[in-house]
Structure 1
Amino acid sequence: MEDRILCAGVASYPAGLHLRVHVYQSNNRPALSLVCADDFMPYVDLTCNVPCHPLADDEVFVAAWNVPVDVLAALLETELFAPVRMLSTGFARGPVWKIQSTELLEWIADARADAAADASPSA
Structure 2
Amino acid sequence: MEEHIIGAGMVSYPAGLQLRVHVYRNNNRPALALICADDFLPYLDLTANVPDQELAEDEVFIAAWNVPNDVLTALLESGWFVPARTIATGYTRGPVWKIQSADLLAWIADAREDALADMLQ
TM-score (norm 1): 0.97
CA shift, 1:53, in A, is 0.3
Structure 1 stretches lacking a partner, 5+ long: none
**Count of aligned pairs:** 121
* Aligned residues: CA RMSD: 0.6
Give the 4+ runs in structure 1 shifted more than 4 A: none
Q: How does 1:73-84 map to 2 (within 5 A)?
A: 73-84=73-84
| 1:64 equivalent in structure 2 | 64
CA deviation profile, 1:37-60 (whole Å, cap 9, x unmatched): 000000000000000000000000
Q: For residue 35 of structure 1, what is the aligned residue in structure 2?
A: 35
Q: What is the deviation of 1:90?
A: 1.0
Mark the runs of 5 or more structure 2 residues left unpaired by the alignment. none
Q: Compute the displacement of 1:2 (Å).
A: 1.0
Counterpart in the other structure of 1:24: 24
Percent identical residues = 68
Partner of 1:49: 49
- Structure 1 residue 9: Cα displacement: 0.8
In the aligned structure 2, how far is the partner of 1:4 from the partner of 1:79?
Answer: 12
Partner of 1:99: 99
